[in-house]
Amino acid sequence: MPEQPRPADEPGLAEPRGAATADKRAEDEKAPPEKVEDKAHAHESSLRLVVGRDLVALGFVLILAAFALAVAFFRTATDVATVLAPVTTLVGSLIGAMFGVQAGNQARAQESHARDQAEQRTAEAVAKMDPAVAEPLVKEWARRRDSGIGNPTEADFS
């Protein structure tokens, strides 16, 4: 079947259908391939969101079921509140802990990535320096790293 021209209101006037797809494919081939780690991280992140959403929904269902049972067996509001308190505390604590651990893991990963980038930039800067100037810097960084003092500051070399 011959390719038909696009209507005038679509982008790429009178381009044959499929031409944009071929252009896109050529751009994708030129682009650097994504790291496998990035794809795995994206999948892991979306899985966490789905699990988190499901746990929150399950928590609501559990609290509603406890409420229905409490109302069925107890007549006073005080009794119902007394029965619901441990259930809501447990559900809230577990879900809060799960999201707290996720936030902590995400922050740790971001910190690690930022540290790796800083180390890479530092290594590149030192590689561009005169060896006579770079040698004291490298020795000081190694001494501080080994002793646990931390990174040197400008004041250390003044």
The residues spanned by each domain of the chain are: 39-117
- Which pLDDT belongs to residue 15? 46
Percent of the chain residues past pLDDT 70, beyond the cut? 68
Mean pLDDT, range 110-130, rounded to an integer: 85
Task: Judge contact between 144 and 132, C-beta under 8 A.
Answer: no
Res 2 pLDDT > 90:
no
Q: How far apart are CA 156 and CA 137, in angstroms?
A: 10
* Mean pLDDT, the chain, whole residue set: 77
Task: Judge contact between 45 and 52, C-beta under 8 A.
Answer: no
- Which pLDDT belongs to residue 41? 65
- Which pLDDT belongs to residue 52? 85
Q: What is the pTM (predicted TM-score) of this model?
A: 0.50
Task: Judge contact between 94 and 56, C-beta under 8 A.
Answer: no
**For the segment 62-114, what is each residue's pLDDT rounded down to a tens digit?**
999 999 999 999 999 999 999 999 999 999 999 999 888 888 888 898 998 88
Task: Find the range with the poorest average confidence among 36-45, 95-104, 130-139, 142-151.
Answer: 36-45
| CA-to-CA dists, residue 82 to 25, 85, 87, 89, angstroms | 63, 5, 10, 11
- Which pLDDT belongs to residue 13? 47
- Which pLDDT belongs to residue 101? 87
- Which pLDDT belongs to residue 124? 86
